[in-house]
Amino acid sequence: MRILVIEDEPGIANFLKEGLEEEHFAVDVANDGNNGLEMALVNDYDLLLIDWMVPGQSGIEVTRQYRKDHPDIPVIFLTAKDTVQDTVFGLESGANDYIKKPFSFDELLARIRVQLRARTGEQTELKLADVIMDLNTHRVFRGEHEINLTPKEFSLLEFLIRNKGKVCTRTRIIEHVWDIHWDADTSVIDVYINFLRKKLNDGAQQNLIQTVRGVGYMAVESES
């Protein structure tokens, strides 16, 4: 899951990036509205966190522009404005949710998850054959055995299972699992796929992640 944060205050942007990355999100930060909108339109994000009052185009303006092409990507406003009118105005201009500064990080996290869940369906568990991913506790089981995954491996597996049966190109994987600083080199995916296969297949025979030669990878329920 990849998130774009548009926030000009470095103190806030820093902890958001740090905290969200620790929660297995890929996070990009833009420090003004113009950059933010450009990044949002060029890259493929699963959620946008936008500060209302940023230099350049305001958060409202960015949301309006972004909504034209992306009606279904959730946008959450972060703002120090706190009147009812502001909240209503913010929500009416296209935001899915609105959180007032100063906010609790746990609350923000919960709201982000709600928005992502609303989009992908009410899932707290993902299943692929006998692999079960608990999205709340970040624990993964294959049958009875618990599998320990690193945050990056977890994100990669989550992305593949969410798109199971569909081919995921290297570019899409990079865009959703890694943040913007990784776009130079897609070979890192192959390394992580190898780690994942080793951990998942440990003791079991079925290969759940198939290579689609020259394109990318695909998660499958059963080997064909």
Partner 1 sequence: MKLSLRNRIAFYYLAAAGFLVALIFVTVYGVVHKTVYNHLNGDLSAEASEVLHSVVILDKQFIFANPNEWKEREHGQIEVNPTFVQVMDSLGNVIKKTPNLQNTDLTLHQKKTTKAYFNSELSGSPIRQLQMIISNQNGEVLGYLLVAMPLQESALVLQNLKIVLLVAFPLVLLILFFVTRSIAGKSIAPIDEVISTANQIHREQLDQRIPLPSHKDELHRLASTINDLLDRIQNALQLEKRFTSDASHELRTPVAALKGTLEVMARKPRSTDYYQEKAAYCLNEVNRMSRLIDQMLLLTRYDGSTNGLSFTDVPLIQQIELVLDRLHRDIAENEMHVTISGKKDALVRVDPSMLEILLSNIISNAVKYSDQGSSIKIEISNSNYTVSCLIQDHGIGMSQDEIGKVFDRFYRADDSRSNQTSGVGLGLSIVKRLADLQDIDINVESIPDEGTRFVMTFPGNPEVVH
Tell me the C-alpha distance between 157 and 218, whole Å: 10
> Residues touching partner 1: how many (CB under 8 A)?
25
Distances (CA, A) of 158 to 3, 89, 129, 149, 155: 15, 35, 14, 11, 5
Beta-carbon contacts of residue 139 (< 8 Å; ≥ 6 apart) = 133, 146
Work out whether 38 is an interface residue with partner 1 (CB under 8 A): no
Task: Tell me the window of 52-60, 64-72, 181-189, 194-202 that interacts with partner 1 (CB under 8 A).
Answer: 52-60
* Nearer to partner 1 among residue 83 and residue 224 (C-beta): 83
Q: Does 8 bind partner 1 (CB under 8 A)?
A: yes
Q: Which residue has the tokens 């890694």?
A: 178
Strand pairing category for 131-134 and 139-142:
antiparallel
Q: Cα Rg for the chain, rounded, in angstroms?
A: 18
Nearest of 71, 133, 75, 122 to residue 99 by alpha carbon: 75
Name which position in 41, 53, 218, 220 contacts partner 1 (CB under 8 A).
53
As measured in angstroms, the least distance from the Cβ of 195 to partner 1 is 22
- We find the least distance from the C-beta atom of residue 44 to partner 1, in angstroms, to be 26
Q: Candidates 91, 103, 138, 211: give the one binding partner 1 (CB under 8 A).
A: 103
Decide: helix, strand or coil at residue 74: coil
- 80 versus 91: smaller Cβ distance to partner 1: 80
- The answer to whether 152 contacts partner 1 (rule: CB under 8 A) is no
CB nearer to partner 1: give 18 or 190.
18
Contact status: 149 vs partner 1 (CB under 8 A): no
Q: Does 102 bind partner 1 (CB under 8 A)?
A: yes
SS3 content of the chain, % helix, strand, coil (to 5): 45, 20, 35
Using CB under 8 A as the binding rule, whether residue 87 contacts partner 1 is answered as: no
31 near partner 1, judged by CB under 8 A: yes
**Of the residues 41, 43, 44, 56, which one makes contact with partner 1 according to CB under 8 A:** 56
What Å distances lie between residue 38 and 34, 184, 210, CA to CA?
A: 6, 19, 34
Q: What is the DSSP letter of 71?
A: T
Q: Which of 1, 4, 6, 16 is the binder for partner 1 (CB under 8 A)?
A: 16
- Binding interface with partner 1 (CB under 8 A): 8-12, 14-16, 18-19, 22, 31-32, 53, 55-56, 80-82, 101-106
